[in-house]
Amino acid sequence: MVTGERIQALAFAGLKELPAQFVRPDHERPENTKAVEGVTAPIISLSQPRNVVVKEMAAAASEWGFFLITDHGISPELIRRLQEVGRVFFELPIEEKEAYSNDPSHGKFEGYGTKMTKNHDEKVEWIDYFFHVMAPPSKVNYQFWPANPPTYREVTEEYNKEVLRVTEEVLELLSEGLSLERKALKGSLGGDEIELEMKINMYPPCPQPELALGVEPHTDMSAITVLVPNDVPGLQLWKDGHWVAVDYLPNALFTHIGDQIEILSNGKYKSVLHRSVVNKESTRMSWAVFCAPPPETMIGPLLDLVDKTNPPKFSTKTYAEFRYRKFNKLPQ
Ligand SMILES: O=C(O)CCC(=O)C(=O)O
Protein backbone atom coordinates (compact mmCIF):
# COMPACT_ATOMS: atom_id res chain seq x y z
CA MET A 1 0.00 0.00 0.00
CA VAL A 2 0.99 3.53 -0.60
CA THR A 3 0.84 4.23 3.12
CA GLY A 4 0.37 7.88 3.86
CA GLU A 5 -1.34 8.59 0.55
CA ARG A 6 -4.70 10.27 0.78
CA ILE A 7 -7.72 8.74 -0.97
CA GLN A 8 -8.52 12.10 -2.54
CA ALA A 9 -5.07 12.18 -4.19
CA LEU A 10 -5.39 8.56 -5.35
CA ALA A 11 -8.87 9.11 -6.76
CA PHE A 12 -7.91 12.07 -8.87
CA ALA A 13 -4.70 10.44 -10.17
CA GLY A 14 -6.82 8.73 -12.86
CA LEU A 15 -6.81 5.16 -11.50
CA LYS A 16 -8.63 2.66 -13.74
CA GLU A 17 -8.48 -0.22 -11.26
CA LEU A 18 -8.94 -0.31 -7.54
CA PRO A 19 -5.62 -0.99 -5.74
CA ALA A 20 -5.64 -4.36 -3.94
CA GLN A 21 -5.66 -2.95 -0.42
CA PHE A 22 -9.16 -1.54 -1.03
CA VAL A 23 -10.69 -4.70 -2.53
CA ARG A 24 -12.97 -6.18 0.10
CA PRO A 25 -13.31 -9.96 0.58
CA ASP A 26 -16.21 -11.53 -1.38
CA HIS A 27 -18.66 -11.58 1.54
CA GLU A 28 -18.24 -7.83 2.19
CA ARG A 29 -18.37 -6.51 -1.37
CA PRO A 30 -21.34 -4.29 -2.15
CA GLU A 31 -21.85 -6.28 -5.38
CA ASN A 32 -22.48 -9.42 -3.28
CA THR A 33 -24.36 -7.76 -0.44
CA LYS A 34 -26.79 -5.45 -2.23
CA ALA A 35 -29.31 -3.39 -0.30
CA VAL A 36 -32.94 -4.63 -0.42
CA GLU A 37 -35.42 -2.62 -2.46
CA GLY A 38 -38.59 -1.03 -1.16
CA VAL A 39 -37.68 -0.69 2.53
CA THR A 40 -37.22 2.81 3.92
CA ALA A 41 -35.95 4.13 7.23
CA PRO A 42 -38.39 5.92 9.60
CA ILE A 43 -38.86 9.67 9.22
CA ILE A 44 -39.93 11.60 12.34
CA SER A 45 -41.21 15.16 12.26
CA LEU A 46 -40.59 17.06 15.50
CA SER A 47 -43.55 19.30 14.71
CA GLN A 48 -46.04 16.60 15.74
CA PRO A 49 -47.63 16.47 19.21
CA ARG A 50 -45.04 15.38 21.78
CA ASN A 51 -46.71 12.08 22.68
CA VAL A 52 -46.68 11.08 18.99
CA VAL A 53 -42.99 11.98 18.61
CA VAL A 54 -42.09 10.02 21.77
CA LYS A 55 -43.92 6.97 20.48
CA GLU A 56 -42.46 7.13 16.98
CA MET A 57 -38.93 7.72 18.23
CA ALA A 58 -39.06 4.88 20.76
CA ALA A 59 -40.34 2.52 18.04
CA ALA A 60 -37.66 3.61 15.54
CA ALA A 61 -34.89 3.41 18.16
CA SER A 62 -36.02 -0.10 19.18
CA GLU A 63 -36.65 -1.53 15.71
CA TRP A 64 -34.04 0.30 13.61
CA GLY A 65 -31.63 2.14 15.91
CA PHE A 66 -31.96 4.89 13.32
CA PHE A 67 -34.36 7.62 12.14
CA LEU A 68 -34.41 10.75 10.02
CA ILE A 69 -35.53 13.86 11.88
CA THR A 70 -37.37 16.66 10.08
CA ASP A 71 -38.75 19.98 11.43
CA HIS A 72 -35.86 20.14 13.90
CA GLY A 73 -35.39 23.89 13.67
CA ILE A 74 -31.86 23.90 12.18
CA SER A 75 -32.10 26.20 9.19
CA PRO A 76 -31.34 24.82 5.70
CA GLU A 77 -29.08 27.86 5.26
CA LEU A 78 -26.92 26.86 8.24
CA ILE A 79 -26.63 23.28 6.92
CA ARG A 80 -25.68 24.68 3.51
CA ARG A 81 -22.97 26.89 5.08
CA LEU A 82 -21.66 24.00 7.20
CA GLN A 83 -21.32 21.87 4.09
CA GLU A 84 -19.72 24.66 2.14
CA VAL A 85 -16.93 25.32 4.67
CA GLY A 86 -16.17 21.58 4.85
CA ARG A 87 -16.11 21.27 1.08
CA VAL A 88 -13.83 24.29 0.73
CA PHE A 89 -11.42 22.81 3.28
CA PHE A 90 -11.17 19.54 1.32
CA GLU A 91 -10.54 21.51 -1.88
CA LEU A 92 -7.42 23.12 -0.38
CA PRO A 93 -4.01 22.04 -1.68
CA ILE A 94 -2.85 18.80 -0.10
CA GLU A 95 0.03 20.49 1.85
CA GLU A 96 -2.41 22.80 3.55
CA LYS A 97 -4.55 19.86 4.69
CA GLU A 98 -1.51 17.82 5.74
CA ALA A 99 -0.64 20.55 8.24
CA TYR A 100 -3.57 19.10 10.25
CA SER A 101 -2.62 15.39 9.95
CA ASN A 102 -3.74 13.29 12.86
CA ASP A 103 -1.98 10.22 14.27
CA PRO A 104 -4.47 7.89 15.96
CA SER A 105 -1.82 5.23 16.68
CA HIS A 106 -0.15 7.78 19.00
CA GLY A 107 -3.41 8.98 20.55
CA LYS A 108 -3.69 12.08 18.35
CA PHE A 109 -7.24 11.67 17.05
CA GLU A 110 -8.09 15.22 16.07
CA GLY A 111 -7.25 16.52 12.61
CA TYR A 112 -7.04 15.27 9.02
CA GLY A 113 -6.87 11.52 8.52
CA THR A 114 -7.21 8.45 6.37
CA LYS A 115 -7.79 5.06 7.95
CA MET A 116 -4.70 2.98 7.29
CA THR A 117 -4.24 -0.79 7.60
CA LYS A 118 -3.12 -2.07 10.97
CA ASN A 119 -1.85 -5.29 9.42
CA HIS A 120 -1.55 -6.88 5.99
CA ASP A 121 -4.95 -8.58 6.00
CA GLU A 122 -6.99 -5.59 7.00
CA LYS A 123 -8.55 -3.69 4.14
CA VAL A 124 -8.53 0.08 3.84
CA GLU A 125 -11.64 2.21 3.57
CA TRP A 126 -12.19 4.57 0.64
CA ILE A 127 -12.39 7.71 2.76
CA ASP A 128 -10.48 10.75 4.04
CA TYR A 129 -11.89 12.61 7.03
CA PHE A 130 -11.44 15.53 9.38
CA PHE A 131 -12.18 15.07 13.07
CA HIS A 132 -12.33 17.56 15.95
CA VAL A 133 -14.10 18.16 19.26
CA MET A 134 -16.83 20.86 19.25
CA ALA A 135 -18.11 20.78 22.85
CA PRO A 136 -17.92 21.28 25.79
CA PRO A 137 -15.80 24.47 25.57
CA SER A 138 -13.22 23.09 28.06
CA LYS A 139 -12.38 20.23 25.64
CA VAL A 140 -12.16 22.32 22.46
CA ASN A 141 -8.74 22.93 20.97
CA TYR A 142 -9.03 25.39 18.09
CA GLN A 143 -5.56 24.53 16.86
CA PHE A 144 -7.15 21.37 15.40
CA TRP A 145 -9.91 23.27 13.58
CA PRO A 146 -9.28 24.32 9.98
CA ALA A 147 -8.16 27.97 9.87
CA ASN A 148 -9.18 28.00 6.22
CA PRO A 149 -11.79 28.86 5.03
CA PRO A 150 -11.79 31.71 7.58
CA THR A 151 -15.53 31.26 8.23
CA TYR A 152 -15.05 27.59 9.26
CA ARG A 153 -15.00 28.34 12.99
CA GLU A 154 -17.94 30.73 13.09
CA VAL A 155 -20.19 28.45 11.01
CA THR A 156 -19.20 25.30 12.89
CA GLU A 157 -19.74 26.95 16.27
CA GLU A 158 -23.20 28.02 15.20
CA TYR A 159 -23.97 24.48 14.03
CA ASN A 160 -22.59 23.10 17.30
CA LYS A 161 -25.11 25.17 19.30
CA GLU A 162 -27.95 23.92 17.17
CA VAL A 163 -26.92 20.26 17.28
CA LEU A 164 -26.52 20.50 21.04
CA ARG A 165 -30.10 21.77 21.29
CA VAL A 166 -31.41 18.96 19.07
CA THR A 167 -29.41 16.19 20.77
CA GLU A 168 -30.71 17.32 24.17
CA GLU A 169 -34.24 17.20 22.77
CA VAL A 170 -33.67 13.71 21.32
CA LEU A 171 -32.27 12.46 24.64
CA GLU A 172 -35.37 13.82 26.41
CA LEU A 173 -37.71 12.15 23.92
CA LEU A 174 -35.81 8.86 24.17
CA SER A 175 -35.95 9.08 28.00
CA GLU A 176 -39.70 9.55 27.89
CA GLY A 177 -39.94 6.59 25.52
CA LEU A 178 -38.41 4.48 28.31
CA SER A 179 -40.93 5.93 30.84
CA LEU A 180 -38.09 7.76 32.58
CA GLU A 181 -38.01 11.40 33.57
CA ARG A 182 -36.93 13.72 30.74
CA LYS A 183 -33.38 14.40 31.93
CA ALA A 184 -32.56 10.76 32.74
CA LEU A 185 -30.43 9.93 29.68
CA LYS A 186 -28.67 13.29 29.52
CA GLY A 187 -27.86 13.05 33.24
CA SER A 188 -26.39 9.56 32.82
CA LEU A 189 -24.26 10.73 29.91
CA GLY A 190 -22.47 13.46 31.84
CA GLY A 191 -25.11 16.24 31.81
CA ASP A 192 -23.64 19.50 30.53
CA GLU A 193 -20.26 17.80 30.08
CA ILE A 194 -21.57 15.69 27.18
CA GLU A 195 -19.08 15.88 24.31
CA LEU A 196 -19.85 16.64 20.68
CA GLU A 197 -17.31 15.62 18.05
CA MET A 198 -17.42 16.59 14.39
CA LYS A 199 -16.26 14.12 11.71
CA ILE A 200 -16.36 15.35 8.13
CA ASN A 201 -16.27 12.33 5.83
CA MET A 202 -15.09 12.71 2.25
CA TYR A 203 -15.54 9.80 -0.14
CA PRO A 204 -14.02 10.65 -3.55
CA PRO A 205 -15.21 8.89 -6.72
CA CYS A 206 -14.00 5.29 -6.75
CA PRO A 207 -12.92 3.41 -9.92
CA GLN A 208 -14.59 0.12 -8.82
CA PRO A 209 -17.18 0.95 -6.15
CA GLU A 210 -18.70 -2.54 -6.32
CA LEU A 211 -15.52 -3.90 -4.70
CA ALA A 212 -14.88 -1.23 -2.05
CA LEU A 213 -16.45 0.25 1.08
CA GLY A 214 -16.35 3.88 2.25
CA VAL A 215 -16.84 2.89 5.88
CA GLU A 216 -16.97 -0.76 6.87
CA PRO A 217 -19.87 -2.16 8.94
CA HIS A 218 -19.77 -0.83 12.51
CA THR A 219 -21.92 0.52 15.31
CA ASP A 220 -21.05 3.92 16.75
CA MET A 221 -19.58 3.88 20.25
CA SER A 222 -21.22 7.24 20.95
CA ALA A 223 -24.63 7.73 22.60
CA ILE A 224 -26.20 9.17 19.46
CA THR A 225 -24.82 10.40 16.14
CA VAL A 226 -26.45 13.13 14.09
CA LEU A 227 -25.34 13.25 10.47
CA VAL A 228 -26.09 15.44 7.47
CA PRO A 229 -24.87 14.10 4.10
CA ASN A 230 -24.55 15.88 0.78
CA ASP A 231 -27.01 14.75 -1.90
CA VAL A 232 -25.02 11.65 -2.91
CA PRO A 233 -26.54 8.54 -1.28
CA GLY A 234 -24.30 5.90 0.32
CA LEU A 235 -25.40 5.16 3.89
CA GLN A 236 -26.78 1.65 4.48
CA LEU A 237 -28.28 0.14 7.64
CA TRP A 238 -28.43 -3.50 8.71
CA LYS A 239 -32.05 -4.43 9.35
CA ASP A 240 -33.61 -7.90 9.62
CA GLY A 241 -30.72 -9.65 7.90
CA HIS A 242 -30.34 -7.21 4.97
CA TRP A 243 -28.69 -3.94 4.10
CA VAL A 244 -31.17 -1.10 3.63
CA ALA A 245 -30.09 1.99 1.69
CA VAL A 246 -31.03 5.34 3.24
CA ASP A 247 -32.32 7.77 0.63
CA TYR A 248 -31.13 11.35 0.67
CA LEU A 249 -33.66 13.63 2.37
CA PRO A 250 -32.65 17.29 2.14
CA ASN A 251 -32.01 18.95 5.52
CA ALA A 252 -33.06 15.90 7.53
CA LEU A 253 -30.88 14.81 10.46
CA PHE A 254 -29.77 11.21 9.97
CA THR A 255 -29.83 10.08 13.61
CA HIS A 256 -28.09 6.89 14.77
CA ILE A 257 -28.52 5.23 18.15
CA GLY A 258 -25.03 4.36 19.40
CA ASP A 259 -23.64 1.81 21.83
CA GLN A 260 -24.01 3.95 24.98
CA ILE A 261 -27.77 4.40 24.56
CA GLU A 262 -28.15 0.69 23.81
CA ILE A 263 -26.37 -0.06 27.10
CA LEU A 264 -28.23 2.53 29.22
CA SER A 265 -31.57 1.28 27.87
CA ASN A 266 -30.49 -2.32 28.60
CA GLY A 267 -30.95 -3.22 24.95
CA LYS A 268 -34.42 -1.69 24.45
CA TYR A 269 -32.90 0.76 21.97
CA LYS A 270 -30.55 -0.78 19.37
CA SER A 271 -27.17 0.51 18.32
CA VAL A 272 -27.48 0.40 14.53
CA LEU A 273 -24.97 -1.52 12.41
CA HIS A 274 -24.23 0.61 9.35
CA ARG A 275 -21.77 1.05 6.51
CA SER A 276 -21.26 3.42 3.62
CA VAL A 277 -20.78 2.56 -0.01
CA VAL A 278 -19.07 4.73 -2.60
CA ASN A 279 -19.70 5.47 -6.25
CA LYS A 280 -17.91 5.99 -9.50
CA GLU A 281 -18.87 9.50 -10.56
CA SER A 282 -19.59 11.64 -7.55
CA THR A 283 -17.89 12.72 -4.38
CA ARG A 284 -19.96 11.89 -1.33
CA MET A 285 -19.51 13.89 1.85
CA SER A 286 -21.16 13.61 5.24
CA TRP A 287 -20.93 15.59 8.47
CA ALA A 288 -21.33 13.29 11.47
CA VAL A 289 -21.61 14.69 14.99
CA PHE A 290 -20.95 12.09 17.69
CA CYS A 291 -22.61 12.87 21.01
CA ALA A 292 -20.70 10.96 23.70
CA PRO A 293 -20.18 10.95 27.47
CA PRO A 294 -16.92 12.27 28.99
CA PRO A 295 -14.37 9.41 29.32
CA GLU A 296 -14.69 9.01 33.11
CA THR A 297 -18.50 8.52 33.01
CA MET A 298 -19.68 5.13 34.26
CA ILE A 299 -22.16 3.64 31.80
CA GLY A 300 -24.30 0.57 32.43
CA PRO A 301 -27.97 -0.40 32.20
CA LEU A 302 -30.11 2.13 34.12
CA LEU A 303 -31.31 0.72 37.44
CA ASP A 304 -34.90 1.73 36.71
CA LEU A 305 -34.85 -0.53 33.65
CA VAL A 306 -33.57 -3.74 35.22
CA ASP A 307 -35.13 -6.20 37.63
CA LYS A 308 -35.26 -9.94 38.27
CA THR A 309 -37.20 -10.64 35.11
CA ASN A 310 -35.11 -8.25 33.04
CA PRO A 311 -31.51 -8.58 34.30
CA PRO A 312 -28.69 -6.34 32.99
CA LYS A 313 -27.55 -7.40 29.52
CA PHE A 314 -24.36 -5.31 29.62
CA SER A 315 -21.58 -4.74 32.12
CA THR A 316 -21.00 -1.32 33.67
CA LYS A 317 -17.71 0.44 32.95
CA THR A 318 -16.29 3.86 32.18
CA TYR A 319 -16.69 5.17 28.66
CA ALA A 320 -12.87 5.31 28.44
CA GLU A 321 -12.69 1.57 29.15
CA PHE A 322 -15.46 0.83 26.64
CA ARG A 323 -13.66 2.89 23.97
CA TYR A 324 -10.31 1.19 24.63
CA ARG A 325 -11.93 -2.23 24.29
CA LYS A 326 -13.79 -1.29 21.14
CA PHE A 327 -10.71 0.20 19.43
CA ASN A 328 -8.69 -2.88 20.30
CA LYS A 329 -11.50 -5.32 19.38
CA LEU A 330 -11.58 -6.78 22.91
CA PRO A 331 -14.78 -8.26 24.38
CA GLN A 332 -16.86 -5.76 26.37
O1 LIG B 1 -21.09 8.77 5.78
C2 LIG B 1 -21.97 8.13 6.34
O3 LIG B 1 -23.14 8.20 6.01
C4 LIG B 1 -21.62 7.22 7.50
C5 LIG B 1 -20.37 7.62 8.23
C6 LIG B 1 -20.05 6.78 9.41
O7 LIG B 1 -20.66 5.77 9.66
C8 LIG B 1 -18.96 7.19 10.31
O9 LIG B 1 -18.28 8.19 10.04
O10 LIG B 1 -18.77 6.51 11.35
Average pLDDT, the chain: 95
Q: Is the CB of 255 under 6 A from ligand 1?
A: no
- The rounded Å distance from CA 168 to ligand 1 centre is 21
Q: Is the CB of 236 under 6 A from ligand 1?
A: no
% of the chain with per-residue pLDDT over 70: 97
Residue 60, pLDDT > 80, answer: yes
Three-state SS for the chain is CCCCCCHHHHHCCCCCCCCHHHCCCHHHCCCCCCCECCCCCCEEECCCCHHHHHHHHHHHHHHCCEEEEECCCCCHHHHHHHHHHHHHHHCCCHHHHHCCECEHHHCECCEEEECCCCCCCCCCCCCEEEEEEEECHHHCCHHHCCCCCCCHHHHHHHHHHHHHHHHHHHHHHHHHHCCCCCCHHHHHCCHHHCEEEEEEEEECCCCCHHHCCCEEEECCCCCEEEEEECCCCCEEEEECCEEEECCCCCCCEEEEECHHHHHHCCCCCCCCCEEECCCCCCCEEEEEEEEECCCCCEECCCHHHCECCECCCCCCEEHHHHHHHHHCCCCC
Residues in the chain: 332
- The rounded Å distance from CA 77 to ligand 1 centre is 22
Q: What gap in Å lies between CA 247 and CA 68, rounded to an integer? A: 10
- The rounded Å distance from CA 85 to ligand 1 centre is 19
Q: Looking at ligand 1, which residue's alpha carbon is closest to its atom 6? A: 215
pTM above 0.75, yes or no: yes
- The rounded Å distance from CA 291 to ligand 1 centre is 14
Counting from 1 in the atom list of ligand 1, the atom nearest the Cα of 235 is 3
Q: Is the CB of 229 under 6 A from ligand 1?
A: yes
Could you report the per-residue pLDDT of 161-180, keeping only the tens digit for each? 999 999 999 999 999 999 99
Clarify whether 132 is annotated catalytic: no
Residue 120, pLDDT > 60, answer: no
Residue 212, pLDDT > 60, answer: yes
Residue 118, pLDDT > 80, answer: no
- The rounded Å distance from CA 140 to ligand 1 centre is 22
What confidence score (pLDDT) does residue 3 get? Answer: 42
Fold of 7-328: Jelly Rolls (2.60.120)
Q: Looking at ligand 1, which residue's alpha carbon is closest to its atom 10? A: 220
Clarify whether 274 is annotated catalytic: yes
What confidence score (pLDDT) does residue 240 get? Answer: 96
Residue 4, pLDDT > 60, answer: no
Q: Is the CB of 277 under 6 A from ligand 1?
A: no
Could you report the per-residue pLDDT of 291-322, keeping only the tens digit for each? 999 999 999 999 999 999 999 999 999 999 99
Residue bearing the bigger pLDDT, 114 or 129: 129
Q: What gap in Å lies between CA 110 and CA 106, rounded to an integer? A: 11
Residue 1, pLDDT > 50, answer: no
Mean pLDDT computed over 134-139: 98
Q: What gap in Å lies between CA 260 and CA 188, rounded to an integer? A: 10
Residue bearing the bigger pLDDT, 21 or 290: 290
Per annotation, catalytic residue among 161, 218, 280, 313: 218
Counting from 1 in the atom list of ligand 1, the atom nearest the Cα of 220 is 10
Clarify whether 34 is annotated catalytic: no
Mean pLDDT computed over 250-266: 98
Residue 117 banded pLDDT, cuts 50, 70, 90: low
Q: What gap in Å lies between CA 93 and CA 8, rounded to an integer? A: 11
Residue ranges per structural domain of the chain: 7-328
